[in-house]
Amino acid sequence: MPQAKANAEASRIFAAYRALPGVPDELVDANGTMRPIWGPLVAYLDGLSPDQIARNIARGEQYLRDAGVFFRNYASGQAERDWPFSPLPVLLPEAEWRVIAEGLIERADLLEYVAADLYGQNRLVAEGHLPAALIAENPEWLRPLVGIAPRSGHFLHFLAFEIGRGPDGRWWVLGDRTQAPSGAGFALENRVAAGRVFSEIYNDLNVFRLAAFFRAFRDGLNGLRGDASIRSGGKVGILTPGPMTDTYYEHAYIARYLGLSLLEGGDLTVEDDAVKVRTVQGPVPIDVLWRRLDAQWADPMELEASSRIGTPGLLAAVRAGNVTLVNALGVGVLESQAMLAFLPGIAEHLNGTPLKLPNIATWWCGQQAELDHVRARAQDMVIGPALATRLPFETGGTHALAGRMRGDGQDLDNWLVENGPGLVGQELVTLSTTPVWQDGALVPRPMTIRVFLARTPDGWQVMPGGFARVGSSADATAISMQQGGSAADVWVVSDDPVPDETMLAQPLHAFARAEPGALPSRAADNLYWLGRYVERTEGLLRLTRAYNARLDESGSSALRAAIKSELAGYGLDPEQPLPQGLIRTLGHAVGAASRIRDRFSIDGWAALVDLEKTMSRMTETVTAGDDAAMAMGVLLRKVAGFSGLVHENMYRATGWRFLTIGRSLERAATMADLLATFTDPAAPTGSLDLAIEIGDSTMTHRQRYAVVASHESVVDLLALDAQNPRAILFHLNEIKTQAEHLRPGGTDAPLSAFERSLLAVQTRATLYSLQDLDAAGLRSLRGDILGLSVALTEAYLL
């Protein structure tokens, strides 16, 4: 303590800090003295120059950019935005965190009891502890699930709570997250980024690690599997709404981190009341799903009929006890702000004592006494929709704040009287502030903390940390990240050294190599089209470069017209220095990759995004001619960099094979089209040399053929040479090699339908003579190759 006080007195950074009057602060106590836990971190910052601090922060931000961490901002048209990282963590002592954890575990048990009662005996409503109207009007109370007990014996397995420190210094629960709690993956990434910023002192501060929490939860999920799933090596799946959700990055990241399968509703099918994953090897059973989509969208047959992201028949599988959903469907009813008005009373009814961690004072206006109370004290409250799940300071639309209407200008009292059952009044929140680094100084900003709980084999476990949402200004309504707020790591600090934790479990048996699981058909489809679109992008870049390189050449007008016609067939206008059709093609590749983020390396994703950003920037600066030709060269090298990363680093499992098949099929089809156009005797002068150039085989042609380019030499090299990685036959052979590994039952099993189609095309190509491959023959071969795409889809991807 004396040392911390001395540090505070000597600190130039702390001396400039000004806590907000009358507001509790995490850095300083009520007397304006620095809390001892902050001393080492502030002293470290004092020892750095402004430039050094900026470099440290940039290191953390660069990690997040390289990792591709983003969230989707609906206010800006669903645009992906970089994760809003606040580099300074929130520090809390272990003893204080223990009190928080005990209170949240008590609350988790309470919520489990309420969920079980609402879908079971319904005593809470019958005995008057919960109003029937409040439950019946909530769209998250799902009637089809009444009377269905979860197979696991529990409704809740993973929870999040929003907490804030009140004016009296105590922590209060601001909101319960039971539906599909998000943010645990972002908390992990925040931890890594903050560790980069403070890498020199992080290990000395005794900060509790997060890995043990996730390892215990993973063990808990695996323990929910049925015997049949365990015997077959079945995995747990994460059920995601898909890449358009605002937290999709987190779903993909957590799936990779925990070794789970990332699945969309369309990946699943229900047969005989059992859930199965559509894979390239046929349906594979799965019986544990960590649900990350809202319940009402889970099954269009019994819930929201318009859902396109759910799985028909999922409720039937739940009803039959053949699948465990984490969390159970229907528990979103617990999230409404109105529930906060009744949970304290239910807790006292059950336990005889108040909750250890109270929630924010809330009054449901569907009861006359409570309505009168809210009307009388409206100036001290925020009033909003009773069934809203947002926090009080996040209320949008029509609401009242401190006695003033916001939204449509109605009279407050009339609004309350007319809409009482649909409204709640909640005590105005004065949130504590935490220091953030802004413009070279520490400044106080309001914050809340999201804390995560997981049900494990040993009971509820609380993540020792979480992430804090920090306001962009002193206004508490600016905490939401959709409103410009940011996210800081939360460090729970011990007085004693803490163990290093990893996700590696202690081995119980002799080592055995784990085989990759079956690849979902959707993932295979996206990998296949990623390969095709990246290869198509490369081919179009080469053609566009060739066009621009010849713009200033006299006598090339006929050849330019032929190139222009070829590009038009792919939807490109070469009169544009960087054609929009080219940007769209690369966009399709990025879109396919974005839907399989859990199967993509950080470097591979970063390379693809860098290519897209570079192309986007070039549209504003590139001019036609040599400038555009040089730009195409830069982009080609970036495409090659991405392809090289994939080739060198991607595990040779089923996913890589579909990516390779897509790449080879596109290259073979594109080459057949190119040769049909530019080896035709009617093609303009220079066409043969152009074909060799586009095929990136100029040096090989010179070495192999001591003659000027001819129809025979070009077709031989780019169509029939099985050793040339640009030749059609090379890629048909490559597809055949990969298809053999996809064969059900292994390479000794009978040929699949796709392989039979492929063998016919490959055999014809092998037997072709140079005379067979005139323009008509090449176009026929191209049609056969594209037909293989249909056969592949029918065999594996539907």
Q: Is 592 helix (H, G, I), strand (E, B) or coil?
A: helix
The terminus-to-terminus CA distance of the chain in angstroms comes to 66
Token pair 């003295």 in the structure block, residue = 33
Instruction: Identify the pLDDT of residue 5.
Output: 42
Distances in Å between the Cα of 542 and the Cα atoms of 200, 310, 537 are: 48, 42, 9
Q: For 709-735, give the DSSP string.
A: --HHHHHIIIII-TT-TTSHHHHHHHH
Domain count, the chain: 4
Q: Are strands 158-165 and 171-177 parallel, antiparallel or unpaired?
A: antiparallel
Split at pLDDT 50, 70, 90, the class of 246 is: confident
| Confidence at residue 505, expressed as pLDDT on a 0 to 100 scale | 55
CA atoms within a 13 Å half-sphere pointing along the CA-CB vector of 123: 8
Q: What is the mean pLDDT of residues 173-200?
A: 95
Please check whether residues 657 and 775 belong to one and the same domain. yes
pLDDT of 431: 87
Is 460 a member of any domain? no
Please enumerate in sequence order all residues whose Cβ is within 8 A of that of 200, keeping only pairs 6 or more positions apart, or say none: 44
Verify that 681 and 797 share a domain, yes or no. yes
- The reported pLDDT for the residue numbered 478 is 47
Tokens of 348: 């006292």
- Domain identity same for 318 and 390: no
pLDDT at 712 over 90: yes
Provide the 8-state DSSP code for 570. T
DSSP state letter for 623? -
Whether 563 and 662 map to the same domain: the answer is no
The predicted structure's pLDDT at residue 3: 39
* 621 found inside a domain: yes
* Residues contacting residue 646 through CB under 8 Å, at least 6 positions apart: 604, 656, 659
Q: CB–CB of 782/669 below 8 Å? A: yes
Radius of gyration of the chain (CA): 31
Do 668 and 720 belong together in one domain?
yes
Residue-number span of the structural domain to which 689 is assigned: 651-798
**pTM metric for this prediction:** 0.89
Distance CA 357, CA 631 (A): 61
Which of the listed residues 650, 683, 710 is the one where a domain comes to its end? 650
Residues 656, 644 share a domain: no
Q: What is the pLDDT of residue 403?
A: 82
Q: Is the peptide bond before 419 cis (omega within 30 degrees of 0)?
A: no
Q: Which helix (H) or strand (E) holds 371?
A: helix 368-376
The conformational region for residue 97 under phi > 0 = left, psi -120 to 50 = alpha, else beta, is alpha
Q: What phi and psi values does residue 231 have, to the nearest 5 degrees?
A: -65, -35
Helix (H, G, I), strand (E, B) or coil at 442: strand
Q: What is the DSSP string of 467-498?
A: EEEE-SSS-GGG-SGGGT-EEEEEEEE-SS--
pLDDT of residue 603: 86
Regarding whether 779 and 638 lie in a shared domain, the answer is no
Long-range contacts of 568-574 (CB under 8 A, 24+ apart): 569/673, 570/536, 570/540, 572/540, 572/543, 572/544, 574/544, 574/547, 574/548
Higher pLDDT, 473 or 577: 577
Q: Is residue 320 part of a domain?
A: yes
Q: Where are the beta strands (DSSP E) in 559-682?
A: none
Query: Given this model, what pLDDT does residue 4 score?
Result: 41
- Same-domain status, 646 and 665: no
784/684 same-domain check: yes
Tell me the residue type at 687: S
Taking alpha carbons only, the member of 426, 454, 425 closest to residue 160 is 454
> Distance between CA 741 and CA 738 in Å, rounded?
5
Contact status, residue 744 vs residue 281, Cβ threshold 8 Å? yes
Q: What is the pLDDT of residues 44-103, one digit of tens each?
A: 999 999 999 999 999 999 999 888 887 665 444 455 677 889 999 999 999 999 999 999
Amino acid in the structure at residue 147: G
Alpha-helix runs per DSSP H in 368-516: 368-376, 412-419
Residue 76 CB burial class (10 angstroms; 0-12, 13-18, ≥19) = exposed
Torsion angle, alpha carbons of 665, 265, 451, 435, to 10: 50
317 and 293 in a common domain: yes
Residue whose token pair is 């009358």: 22
The 3-class secondary structure across 195-242, one letter per residue, is HHHCCCCHHHCCECCCHHHHHHHHHHHHCCCCHHHHHCCCCCEEEECC
Note whether 754 and 670 are within 8 A (CB). Answer: no
Per-residue pLDDT at 499? 87
Q: Tell me the per-residue pLDDT of 540-599, one tens digit each, with 9 for 90 and over.
A: 999 999 999 999 888 789 999 999 999 999 999 999 999 999 999 999 999 999 999 888
Same domain, 311 and 257: yes
CA 299 vs CA 75, 283, 310: distances in Å: 28, 19, 5
Residue 195 lies in a domain: no
- Confidence at 2, pLDDT banded by 50, 70, 90: very low
Residues in Cβ contact with 282 at an 8 Å cutoff, skipping those fewer than 6 apart: 744
Q: Please list, in sequence order, all residues whose beta carbon lies within 8 angstroms of the beta carbon of residue 425, skipping any fewer than 6 positions away.
A: 362, 363, 365, 370, 373, 374, 377, 378, 381, 382, 383
Would 565 be classed as within a structural domain?
yes
Report how far residue 752's alpha carbon sits from residue 759's, in angstroms, rounded to the nearest whole number.
Answer: 10
In-domain check, residue 339: no
**Any domain includes 28:** no
How far is the CA of 409 from the CAs of 35, 288, 382, 384, in angstroms? 45, 49, 15, 14
For the cut 50, the answer to whether the pLDDT of residue 6 exceeds it is no
Q: For position 308, what pLDDT does the model report?
A: 94
> How far is it, in rounded angstroms, from Cα 683 to Cα 691?
11
**Confidence class for position 429, pLDDT limits 50, 70, 90:** confident
- 201 in any annotated domain: no
CATH of the domain at 283: 3.40.50.11290
Tokens standing for residue 586: 């690369």
Indicate if the pLDDT at residue 485 is higher than 90. Answer: no
Instruction: Check residue 501 and report its DSSP letter.
Output: -
For the chain, what is the mean pLDDT? 91
Q: Which two tokens stand for residue 646?
A: 């994939």
Is 359 in a helix, a strand, or coil? strand
Placement of tokens 């990623």 in the chain: 530
Distance CA 442, CA 534 (A): 46
Of the pLDDT bands very low, low, confident and very high (cuts 50, 70, 90), residue 732 is: very high
Q: Which amino acid is at 589?
A: A
CA nearest 727: which of 675, 684, 680? 675
Among 621, 650, 679, which residue terminates a domain?
A: 650
Q: Are residues 416 and 535 in the same domain?
A: no
What are 72's strand-pairing partners? 80
Question: Exposed/middle/buried for 643, CB within 10 Å: 0-12, 13-18, 19+?
Answer: middle
Q: Which residue has the higher pLDDT, 75 or 245?
A: 245
What's the pLDDT score for residue 1? Answer: 33
Considering only CA atoms, which of 563, 781, 551, 587 is closest in space to residue 691?
563
The yes-or-no verdict on residue 416 having pLDDT over 70 is yes
Residue with tokens 């009520």: 30
Range of 225-234, 329-338, 468-477 with top mean pLDDT: 329-338
What pLDDT shows up at residue 731?
97
Residue 404 has pLDDT above 90, yes or no: no
pLDDT at 172: 95
In sequence order, the 6+-apart residues with CB closer than 8 A to the CB of 331 are 111, 115, 155, 156, 178, 179, 295
Domain final residue, candidates 427, 459, 474: 427
Beta bridge partners of 71: 81
Amino acid, single-letter form, for residue 446:
P
